[in-house]
A and B are shown apart, each in its own frame.
Chain A
Amino acid sequence: MKPSMLCQEWLTSLSKPDGILQEIQKQSRDSIQKVGLPSKNDEDWRVTNFKRLQKILEIPIAKGKKIDLKPELNILKSTKNKVWQFTLSPELQEFSKMELPNGVELINEKELQIYLGNNIELFKCKEEWSTLINECSAGQVLGLKVTGKDLPTLEVLIPAESNCFNATRLLLVLEEEAKVEVVQVFLGSNFSAQSHLIEIELAERSNFQHTIIALGGGEASLSAQTIIKQEKLSNYSLNFLQSGWLWSRLEPRIVQINGEAETNIKGLQIARKNEQVSTHSFVRFNGPDGKLNQLNKALADDSGHSIFYGSIQVPKIAQQTQANQLSRNLLLSKRARIDAKPQLEIIADDVSCTHGATVSELQEEELFYLKSRGIDSNRANSLLLNGFYQEIISAFPMNWKRWLFSSDLFEVKNKE
């Protein structure tokens, strides 16, 4: 089917515009018909597997039935003081009945209208495909305002309804000096697709520790956009893992709106079998004295394909910016593929910016060293892989491994 027809059919399968997002739904549905699907001519999409992208639109829209989570996932409910956990799904939820921890408030509908779309506007990404499919289909948005400092970790489970297209949307606003740690856990399911959009506003001197653990499974797909606006002296740290997706695309977009803020990004993406896993990050400094430290690690094995595009924009106003970006990639099979494209656009003349990308294999000498100590091949490989991941996963919350039900994260198959 032609992409334009596919889009049309997909739109007709969506429920009628309704609720607080209905205006957004109407506008985006008009736009997607004009814009259509991305193509090879769009630089940011050039190496994407378009067949898989189209397949997403063939998956029926989730009807919002309740998703039964594996019981292990609810473990933390008993430790309420440290972790406040909730599940976000296409199921229509009455957010006003949610019990929230002290220091977190629900943003009411009127206020939501003020915040929604601000960050999208800043990045002018309203007509980006990742934004459009979410705005066309998400039926509700959960908006939370964080006013406190001493809060439990907010753990947001975002499971997928099997064989369905699931759209979810979040808005988080941190007031001045607020501090919070948020862990988002995406759990794919057989032939599911997920579209997620989160907008985050960080006021002055606020601090946001953000972890995204995105675990696919089966033939699942994920498009997740995180759009962050940072005020002066705010601190935003994003640590993420993407693994096990037939197709996934994570798009962190961050703007330091008046400079003088700090951004740290550490990402790990793993592409095995025939998976295509990608990260497209955009960081823009709209004022002086901003800082960015970014490390993206990727592993591609079997026929896996890992993509990293990292764009950093330092306009003239952003003097004294310090930005470091490094993409480190491990290629474990001849059939695997890695595309890494760090992209630094600097107009300001008084800045300190570095970027780089490396692609390597597991080092024979390191393997020999471990093996000469009696450590077998599989264990030696997994020690080295663990070593490669360590820089990233050491920043994850302590008990993050409980999400890894059947992951082969640390395995390397014996190569001929």
Chain B
Amino acid sequence: MQNSSGNLILEINDLHASIEDQSILKGVNLKIYAGEIHAIMGRNGSGKSTLSKVIAGHPAYSITSGIIKFNNQNILDLEPEERGRAGIFLGFQYPLEIPGVSNIEFLRVATNARRQALKKEELDTFEFEDLVHEKLKLVQMDPSFLERSVNEGFSGGEKKRNEILQMALLEPTLGILDETDSGLDIDALRIVATGVQKLSKNDTATILITHYQRLLNEITPNFVHVMVDGKIAHTGGKELALKLEESGYDWIEKDSNKSEELKK
């Protein structure tokens, strides 16, 4: 289903999640509308990656309370593949290497799964080759990477480009990019950022999880959120990212602690 600009794509209410009895998300609230780009920042261990995995349906996490709605549908009961087909895409912080599985076969199977959900015709191998070669240009990736095993022996930058290539093929409604900028040199960062920008449309939304301001120089977010201890502690515009770059996270954590105490 296509969203018209301004539709609510993702709604998270009071989300609590844990892994092996350890509570990680402690009440996340977030609303993302079509056409928006949100950046989520925060220290290591603040829950950013967990949030992205929970939205994508990683089986290791259990949701203890709260709700996630995607296109107004509760997705907590959906399997990861159902979420993927519905249009949620998670760009992995550490894309997995899968020896023996050809990249092009993987990309074709994934693309056809998504196309089926969109009620589009599946692509045969020849049609898919045409499509994938067109999308390769977006991330300036060498076609030889298609013939290799998924991510096997790829450099950090090549893996991230392969993630953006998947995003280009799957045309998700919601793209979540978990530290896509980490391990990229400045040229690769620019290529990835340009790719993401080109894929952002009026009817899609993007979440960028990052530690650094430098990605946000390339892609301007509408909102910047800071996560502290499993919650979104502060929300602002692009200027918030600049302030964090200058002053670090201490002031937000202090503010967050104060407001917690006031609540008590």
Smallest distance from the beta carbon of A387 to chain B beta carbons, Å? Answer: 3
Give the CA-CA distance A158 to B96 in the complex, in Å.
42
A391→B100 contact, CB < 8 A: yes
B98→A387 contact, CB < 8 A: yes
Kindly list the 7 A-B residue pairs having the minimum CB-CB distance in the complex, ordered from nearest. A387-B100, A390-B100, A374-B84, A374-B113, A373-B110, A387-B101, A374-B85
Give the CA-CA distance A384 to B150 in the complex, in Å.
11
Q: Which residues of B contact A369 (CB under 8 A)?
A: 92, 95-96, 98
Q: Which of B138-181 contact A (CB under 8 A)?
A: 149, 166, 170
Q: Which residues of A contact B105 (CB under 8 A)?
A: 383
The stretch of A181-189, A280-288, A360-368 that contacts the partner chain? A360-368
Give the most central of A371, A373, A390: most B CB within 10 Å: A373
Give the CA-CA distance A15 to B83 in the complex, in Å.
66
Query: B117 within 8 Å of A by Cβ?
Result: yes
The stretch of B54-62, B201-209, B233-241 that contacts the partner chain? B54-62
B100→A373 contact, CB < 8 A: no
Q: State which of A366, A371, A383, A389 has its C-beta within 8 Å of the C-beta of B81.
A: A371
A366→B98 contact, CB < 8 A: yes
A373→B166 contact, CB < 8 A: yes
Q: Which residues of A come within 8 Å of B, CB atoms?
A: 364-366, 368-377, 379-380, 383-384, 386-391
Known: A364-B59, A374-B110, A374-B117. Contact between A387 and B81, CB under 8 A? no
Give the CA-CA distance A391 to B58 in the complex, in Å.
29
Give the CA-CA distance A379 to B79 in the complex, in Å.
14
A371→B100 contact, CB < 8 A: no
Enumerate 30 A-B pairs (CB-CB under 8 Å) in ascending A order.
A364-B59, A364-B60, A365-B96, A366-B96, A366-B98, A368-B58, A368-B80, A369-B92, A369-B95, A370-B98, A371-B79, A371-B81, A372-B80, A372-B84, A373-B89, A373-B110, A373-B114, A374-B81, A374-B110, A374-B113, A374-B170, A375-B110, A376-B81, A376-B113, A379-B113, A383-B106, A383-B109, A387-B99, A387-B149, A390-B100
Give the most central of B80, B84, B105, B117: most A CB within 10 Å: B80
B101→A372 contact, CB < 8 A: no
Q: Which residues of A contact B95 (CB under 8 A)?
A: 369
Q: Mark B109-127, 1 if CB is under 8 A from A, else 0.
A: 1100110010000000000
Query: B90 within 8 Å of A by Cβ?
Result: yes
Give the CA-CA distance A327 to B117 in the complex, in Å.
41
B56→A372 contact, CB < 8 A: yes
Smallest distance from the beta carbon of A129 to chain B beta carbons, Å? Answer: 36
Q: Which of B56-100 contact A (CB under 8 A)?
A: 56-60, 79-81, 83-85, 89-90, 92, 95-96, 98-100
Smallest distance from the beta carbon of A330 to chain B beta carbons, Å? Answer: 12
Give the CA-CA distance A376 to B81 in the complex, in Å.
6
Give the CA-CA distance A383 to B112 in the complex, in Å.
15
Q: Which residues of B contact A370 (CB under 8 A)?
A: 98, 106, 110
Give the CA-CA distance A372 to B101 in the complex, in Å.
16
Smallest distance from the beta carbon of A9 to chain B beta carbons, Å? Answer: 48
Give the CA-CA distance A251 to B117 in the complex, in Å.
49
B59→A368 contact, CB < 8 A: yes
Q: Which residues of B contact A364 (CB under 8 A)?
A: 59-60
Q: Mark B28-69, 1 if CB is under 8 A from A, else 0.
A: 000000000000000000000000000011111000000000
Give the CA-CA distance A374 to B108 in the complex, in Å.
11
Give the CA-CA distance A151 to B101 in the complex, in Å.
33
Give the CA-CA distance A284 to B139 in the complex, in Å.
52
Known: A371-B81, A372-B81, A375-B81. Contact between A388 and B96, CB under 8 A? no
B101→A386 contact, CB < 8 A: yes
Q: Which residues of B contact A380 (CB under 8 A)?
A: 81
Give the CA-CA distance A231 to B230 in the complex, in Å.
68
Smallest distance from the beta carbon of A2 to chain B beta carbons, Å? Answer: 48
- Since A364-B59, A373-B89 are in contact, a sample of 20 more A-B pairs with Cβ atoms closer than 8 Å, ordered by chain A residue number, is A366-B96, A368-B80, A370-B98, A371-B79, A372-B57, A372-B83, A372-B84, A372-B89, A373-B110, A375-B81, A375-B109, A375-B113, A376-B81, A380-B81, A383-B101, A386-B100, A386-B101, A387-B101, A388-B100, A391-B99
Smallest distance from the beta carbon of B132 to chain A beta carbons, Å? Answer: 14
Smallest distance from the beta carbon of B211 to chain A beta carbons, Å? Answer: 22
In the complex, what residue of chain A is closest to B101 when comparing beta carbons? A387
Give the CA-CA distance A391 to B33 in the complex, in Å.
46
Smallest distance from the beta carbon of B110 to chain A beta carbons, Å? Answer: 4
Q: Which residues of B contact A374 (CB under 8 A)?
A: 81, 84-85, 110, 113-114, 117, 170
Q: Which residues of A contact B58 (CB under 8 A)?
A: 368
Q: Which residues of B contact A379 (CB under 8 A)?
A: 109, 113
Give the most central of A370, A376, A377: most B CB within 10 Å: A370
Smallest distance from the beta carbon of B58 to chain A beta carbons, Å? Answer: 6
Give the CA-CA distance A380 to B59 in the complex, in Å.
15
Q: Which residues of B contact A377 (CB under 8 A)?
A: 79, 81
Give the most central of A370, A371, A374, A380: most B CB within 10 Å: A374
Give the CA-CA distance A391 to B100 in the complex, in Å.
7
Q: Which residues of B contact A366 (CB under 8 A)?
A: 96, 98
Q: Which of B236-258 contact A (CB under 8 A)?
A: none
Q: Which residues of B contact A365 (CB under 8 A)?
A: 96
Q: Which residues of A contact B56 (CB under 8 A)?
A: 372
